A and B are shown apart, each in its own frame.
Chain A
Amino acid sequence: MSRIIVITSGKGGVGKTTCTANLGMALAQRGHKVAVVDADFGLRNLDLLLGLENRIVYTAVEVLAGECRLEQALVRDKRQPNLVLLPAAQNRTKDSVSPDQMKKLVNALTKVFSYILIDSPAGIEMGFQNAIAPAKEALVVTTPEISAVRDADRIVGLLEANGIRNAHLIINRIKPAMVAQDKMMSVKDVQEILAIPLIGVIPDDEKVIVSTNRGEPLVLAAEASQRGLAGQALQNIVRRLEGETVPFLDLTPPADDFLARLRRLFRPTE
């Protein structure tokens, strides 16, 4: 049985595509056959994060129009042969595809791939409906900010209403130094508010941007130091997806000043 997982958030720019690219790559590294599907029609960028933008010939739209076969549209990753991308069209609107068509496409992919990750566009309109239509599970991505958490809550409700009860939370772009100073909501705060099970906590890390610039997902880096804490956090999510119990990373800031350490020492347990 293949697992069909949508990565979604409500608010834009919180890290859906970053997560899809890295989780897809990490799953493939663990030996699974993985298809990542870009459901962001009109504003595709999963291909960019994977560095596959120059290799796209056909997209999902041509497959649906019968202008090519599904295999012809799939872009194979040369670095990781277990991974393929089904690109979205860049020059069409979100209405060029329907939820039923998405189901058909993904259903065809389940014949070959054991993991299908769908990168959802922001918002709750047609593009979102298309992305969740084939999914059996969801990863809800948020950052610890009021607007992102509010939108994530809306998404959790909509997923439930659409029969997707298996939803897990990824909190991205945590800034440990700010949490330590009580300037930002903590992981616990956000998880308490959204009240769905937590599957990952990713720190804010410049390495994520550098890897995006290169078109090389963080988890591809050979050295642990190059992957950094963010890369490790993403790999941990994949292990948890597969049922392993992995402790969450300790994100308390390491080299902080004397005062902050003192303050933490005296503060009642959080």
Chain B
Amino acid sequence: MLQELLDRLFSRGTAQKTSRETVKRRLQILLAHDRADLSPAVMEKMRQEILEVVSRYVEIDPDHSEFLLESDQRTTILTANLPIRGVKEVPDAPKIADSAANRIPEATSSTLPPAEPSADSPPDVLDLSMLDAIDAAIDPKTISSPSNEGRQTL
């Protein structure tokens, strides 16, 4: 009771976002789109292609995936939040000579629970962040490269 009051007083805990936080976040997304000057059609095509590539390796929950351009200090960041339902059997590792490109399926299977997810377990989230690398993002090599800003939280 007292804690609740304190929380509300100091807007801690799960309190609603302030209008200041909301407007700041809206602006960051808005300006990222303005600055990148990508048409919604191109964004959509890129989203589809990235989903397609990622789906070759893992099963993604399309309804809960998020795909955002954000802006920070005049740098544009593309963030894809893709909840993983499970890992797919990859029949033949794609024929990319670069060995680094093969690392992601291994890494994924070693960190994730076995391919059959229990019905109510929360989906894991694959967060791909690419600094100013919008072109490269369409290239599967870039997505699976582990050196990618270290934000591949699984």
Known: A150-B27, A193-B28. A263 touches B10 (CB 8 A): yes
A256 within 8 A of B: no
CB distance from B49 to the nearest CB of A (A): 27
Residues from chain A with Cβ under 8 Å of B21 in the complex: 182
Determine if B20 and A146 form an interchain contact, defined as CB atoms under 8 angstroms apart: no
Interface bin, chain A: 20 to 34
CB distance from B148 to the nearest CB of A (A): 24
Nearest B residue to A154, CB-CB: B34
Cα distance, A183 to B24, chains bound together (Å): 11
A195 within 8 A of B: yes
Residues from chain A with Cβ under 8 Å of B9 in the complex: 259, 262-263
Q: Per a CB cutoff under 8 Å, which of A149, A182, A195 touches B20?
A: A182
* Among A110-118, A127-135, A184-192, A236-244, the stretch in contact with B: A184-192
Determine if A146 and B19 form an interchain contact, defined as CB atoms under 8 angstroms apart: no
Known: A263-B9, A266-B10. A186 touches B34 (CB 8 A): no
**Interface of A: prevailing SS:** helix
Q: Per a CB cutoff under 8 Å, which of B20, B27, B35 touches A184?
A: B20
Determine if B20 and A193 form an interchain contact, defined as CB atoms under 8 angstroms apart: no
**1/0 per residue B71-112: CB within 8 Å of A?**
101100000000000000000000000000000000000000
Determine if A157 and B35 form an interchain contact, defined as CB atoms under 8 angstroms apart: yes
Determine if B34 and A185 form an interchain contact, defined as CB atoms under 8 angstroms apart: no
Cα distance, A185 to B28, chains bound together (Å): 12
Residues from chain A with Cβ under 8 Å of B19 in the complex: 182-184
CB distance from B77 to the nearest CB of A (A): 14
Nearest A residue to B10, CB-CB: A266
Residues from chain A with Cβ under 8 Å of B34 in the complex: 150, 153-154
Known: A182-B19, A267-B10. A193 touches B24 (CB 8 A): yes
Known: A182-B18, A259-B9. A150 touches B35 (CB 8 A): no
Residues from chain A with Cβ under 8 Å of B18 in the complex: 182-183
Determine if B73 and A192 form an interchain contact, defined as CB atoms under 8 angstroms apart: yes
Q: Which B residues between 22 and 38 are near A, CB-CB below 8 angstroms?
A: 23-24, 26-28, 30-31, 34-35
CB distance from A39 to the nearest CB of B (A): 25
Determine if A195 and B73 form an interchain contact, defined as CB atoms under 8 angstroms apart: yes
Residues from chain A with Cβ under 8 Å of B74 in the complex: 195
**1/0 per residue A251-270: CB within 8 Å of B?**
00000000100110011000
Nearest A residue to B74, CB-CB: A195
Given contacts A146-B27, A193-B27, 5 further A-B contacts (CB under 8 A): A146-B30, A153-B31, A185-B20, A193-B28, A193-B71
Pull 5 A–B residue pairs with CB atoms less than 8 Å apart, ordered by A: A150-B30, A154-B34, A182-B19, A182-B20, A193-B24
